[in-house]
Amino acid sequence: MPGSPLELPPLAHSATPTTLVGTAYAALRRDIIEGRLAPGSRLRVEHLKDSYGVGAGTLREALSLLVSDALVVSQGQRGFHVTPISMEDFYDITRNRILLECEALRQAIQTGDDVWESRIIAAFHRLSRAEERLASNPINRFDEWEDRNREFHQALISACTSRWMHHFLGILYQQAERYRRLVVTRKPIPRDVHDEHRAILEAALARDADRASALLADHISTTYEAVKHLPPDLFTNHGQAAESAPAA
């Protein structure tokens, strides 16, 4: 129906948070995205199972789910490793995210109804408040901002009826978050990012698909440009990170 994605079974796995596998999966996923488990580091089941409070079999199952998320790689006899990061990888993520998210936004603008409009307005309001708090405390407020930012982008494309589009964009978005965190936690988010969000919102509400898509593409590209100016050792040193479990 217009205003919401098709109510179809998910294309990816569904790790129920109330199960041991789901709990371990969620904790590992959070620690990978937030950098506590460093890109390129080896994930030793015998070391990590105690830190996450689960058995070896449960942890392996959770790690296998993360392989399908492209956050973990399985290298045969070498075991599991956190997926490395690189500028080449982030360029690929950015390019494909622009292609898919702009098309999803076009479809959402075409099919979205009043409920969709109210959804993106509310998401923008919550994001604006989070942006204000992030500017004064980028490290402690990043998680809140990231949640509100994700909600805003999801709201923009929520009227797109392609479940494949939502599936692939979900993967690309969480991959991009690993890089975005490197930027935002090192300096306050620029105030023009708020203006970028507002401009996208206004173009979407005006049903100007061409302008909204162009603004969204530029908005996504700015993070890539910001990451390009980070010290190179942020990428090269991750592979030599310690293999110990994150602190509790």
pLDDT tens-place values along the chain, 248 residues long = 444 444 544 555 556 666 889 999 999 999 998 888 989 999 999 999 989 999 999 999 999 999 988 999 997 777 899 999 999 999 999 999 999 999 999 999 999 999 999 999 999 999 999 988 888 887 788 889 889 999 999 999 999 999 999 999 999 998 998 888 877 666 555 558 899 999 999 999 999 999 999 999 999 998 888 888 777 776 654 433 333 333 33
pLDDT of res. 3: 45
Rounded alpha-carbon distances, angstroms, from residue 146 to 63, 104, 105, 157, 221:
24, 20, 20, 17, 17
Q: Which residues contact 51 (CB under 8 A, 6 or more apart)?
A: 245, 246, 248
CA atoms within 13 A on the CB side of 122: 9
Closest CA to 177 of 42, 241, 85: 85
Q: Residues 22, 27, 31, CA angle at the centre, nearest 5°?
A: 145
Q: CA 232, CA 219: separation in Å to the nearest integer?
A: 23
* Exposure string for 157-167, b = 16+ CB within 10 A, e = fewer: bbbbbbeebbe
Phi, psi of 72, deg, nearest 5 = -130, 145
Domain ranges of the chain: 20-84, 87-228
Structure tokens that stand for 154 in this block = 């999801």
Question: Helix, strand or coil for residue 244?
Answer: coil
Which one of 3.30.413.10, 3.40.640.10, 1.10.238.10, 1.20.120.530 gives the CATH number of domain 87-228? 1.20.120.530
Which pTM was predicted? 0.82
Which one of 2.170.190.11, 3.30.300.30, 1.10.10.10, 1.20.1290.10 gives the CATH number of domain 20-84? 1.10.10.10
Structure tokens that stand for 212 in this block = 């909204």
